[in-house]
Amino acid sequence: MRCPDALGGIGLAFVAGVCERLLVVDDEDSVRRAYQSHFAGAGFEVHSAASLQEAAERLAANTFHAVIADVCLTPDVGSEGLAIAAYLRHMRHDPPVVILTAYGSPDRAEAAARLGVDAFLHKPVSLVWLESLLRARIDDRRRGTGPEAMAVAG
């Protein structure tokens, strides 16, 4: 089965003919394009956003299987990626969330952990490795064996 990505390209679906819908949130166009190219080629339906407002619009219009967000989208605020994770948890929508940062701090990493993000990673990140991480987390959610399920079962 072939899956269209959000920009009209075609990617191959690898999981039982199901396209995983991915939201990539980053203020840098080159980063969004690189992620778009890699993940669409890997079978994801990729949507992207450059700001917190765009991310909110995408999240209101779609359900995503995973979200990748830069922690800092504007110099003024600086923690929009964490706001996206908080919003998803508040809405009880539980896709895997990966927060990326070029300027990590212990406070932000701690906040990400409190929000239950799946990973808080420093850029640059191998896209192949990130894809493997996302697929594993998506599979965990489908099987009901993600961190939240384990906390309830444990």
Question: For 64-101, what is each residue's pLDDT tens digit?
Answer: 999 999 999 987 777 899 999 999 988 877 899 999 99
| The pLDDT value given to residue 76 | 76
The answer, as to whether pTM is greater than 0.85, is no
The pLDDT score that the predictor gives to residue 89 is 86
Say if CB 22 and CB 66 are below 8 A apart. yes
113-154 pLDDT tens trace: 999 999 999 999 999 999 999 999 999 988 887 554 323 222
Predicted local confidence at residue 58, as pLDDT: 96
| 3-state SS assignment for residue 19 | coil
| Alpha-carbon gap, residue 19 to 28, rounded angstroms | 25
pLDDT at 144: 83
pLDDT of residue 3: 59
Which has the higher per-residue pLDDT, 2 or 75?
A: 75
For the chain, domains (ranges, CATH) are 20-153 (3.40.50.2300)
Residue 26 φ/ψ, nearest 5 degrees: -155, 140
The residue to which tokens 């990493």 are assigned: 109
Mean pLDDT to the nearest integer, 15-26? 80
* pLDDT value at residue 26: 97
C-alpha span between 47 and 44 (Å, rounded): 9
Q: How far apart are CA 100 and CA 17, in angstroms?
A: 29
The closest alpha carbon to 118, from 88, 91, 152, belongs to 88
| Residue 32 CB contacts under 8 Å (≥ 6 apart), including other chains | 24, 26, 48, 50
Does residue 32 carry a pLDDT above 50?
A: yes
Contact 82, 108 (CB under 8 A): yes
More confident site: 90 or 34: 34
